[in-house]
Amino acid sequence: MKRSLLWKLLLINLPVIAVIIAVVWLSIDQLAANYFMVLMEKYMVSPTETHRAFLTAVHYTLFWASLAALLIAFVLSFLLTRRVLRPLSRMAEATREVAAGNFSSRVEVGAADEIGRLGAAFNRMADSLENLERLRKTMVGDVAHELRTPLTNLRGYLEGLSDGVIPPEKATFEMLQAEILRLVRLVEDLGQLARAEAARAYLERQEFDLSETIGQMLTLYRPRFEARSITVATRFAPAADRIVADRDKVLQAVRNLIENACRYTPEGGRFTVSSERLPGEIRVVFANSGPGIPPADLPYVFERFYRAERSRSRDAGGAGIGLSIVKELIEAHGGSVGAESAEGETRVWFVLPE
């Protein structure tokens, strides 16, 4: 491919050089030769032989000058074009490595021209692919772990019940039911994530009161907050009440954020929901007290199955899908999500266009 493009670029210059040579050749044949004839006639010199000798000498000089010009132009074009195409050749090699699964391959960006920008874009693409591959492997491992734990428990207890080692007591069946519910919740989370990804094509936008909708959801969760002595407060800006969006999907995003805060706010802590109107958009912030999220984990909290805590306990941290669902639902509306955390407080927000 490189050779083909190289020769194509070289051949582009040949017609230009040929036209220039033809113009010069015809100009000398017509203009210079005619002027020479006028001079011969003016000074009464026989023009026939002299004119022929003049044209022969000019054509001879033009022929070798054109041949030299073509050779120099070809050599210079070849060297310069090959120098220009060298980064593309390295980029082609890096592309083959990425296609083979080596997402760590990068190209060196040594200029700020079009090829340099192309190399920078390639490196950004490779970074994204490497990150996606890492998340894919993590997700596969996480799904396997989430399924393995309850299935292993179910298998062990069922085998014990079948062999008579474990007595068929009420507590045993309650434990088995809890494990089954864990599997059901995981499947429901995955289903919600799939529906959230398809939300862009199924938005039923309508105008509704955002603060009222959030207040209704807080009322449902209030017993859980009160059971852990968590103080709940709201600060809704009057100008940020009305919004046009899919109410059910926004409600699902709010539910997931409140559920997330309920899980991670320590007993006796505080949880605050606030809203504000920005130019052309509305921002809703969910802030809860707690140990905070490590800075290294913040860029990934909205990724699937990602949890800042490493214990892998669903009871403590869920499956790590809730914030991913929020991200998909909000971005389906053309909005954005974000998070920040400091010692003592974590803030998660979403922004919706008016």
Q: What is the CATH number of the domain that holds 260?
A: 3.30.565.10
Contact of 110 with 91, CB cutoff 8 Å: no
Of the segments 18-27, 121-130, 327-336, which one has the largest average pLDDT value? 327-336
pLDDT, averaged across the chain: 76
Q: What angle do CA 69, 113, 132 make, to 5 degrees?
A: 135
3-state SS class at 46? coil
- How many other β-carbons are positioned within 10 Å of the β-carbon of residue 272? 17
In a domain, 194, yes or no: no
Tell me which of 54, 82, 102 is where a domain ends: 102
Q: Are residues 349 and 206 in the same domain?
A: yes
Tell me the C-alpha distance between 334 and 339, whole Å. 18
* Amino acid letter, 64: W
Q: What is the pLDDT of residue 110?
A: 67
Which tokens go with 175?
């434990």
109 is a domain residue: no
pLDDT band at 63 (very low <50, low <70, confident <90, very high): confident
* C-alpha span between 328 and 198 (Å, rounded): 9
What is the total count of domains within the chain?
2
Rounded CA-CA distance 335/329 in Å is 9
- Between CA 113 and CA 119, with CA 117 as vertex, the angle to 5 degrees is 115
Query: What confidence score (pLDDT) does residue 36 get?
Result: 61
Of 69 and 254, the structure prediction assigns the larger pLDDT to 254
On whether both 324 and 206 belong to a single domain, the answer is: yes
Residue 97, domain member (yes or no)? yes
Highest mean pLDDT among 10-14, 55-59, 209-213, 283-287: 283-287
Is 280 within the bounds of a domain? yes
Domain-embedded: residue 299 = yes
Tokens of 148: 């393995």
Q: Identify whether the C-beta of residue 211 lies closer than 8 Å to the C-beta of residue 241.
A: yes
Please tell me whether residues 309 and 204 are part of one structural domain. Answer: yes
**Paired sense of beta strands 281-290 and 344-353, if any:** antiparallel
* Class of residue 54 by CB neighbours under 10 A (exposed 0-12, middle 13-18, buried 19+): middle
DSSP letter assigned to residue 350: E
Domain that holds residue 238: 199-353
Predicted TM-score of the model (pTM)? 0.53
Q: Which amino acid is at 335?
A: G
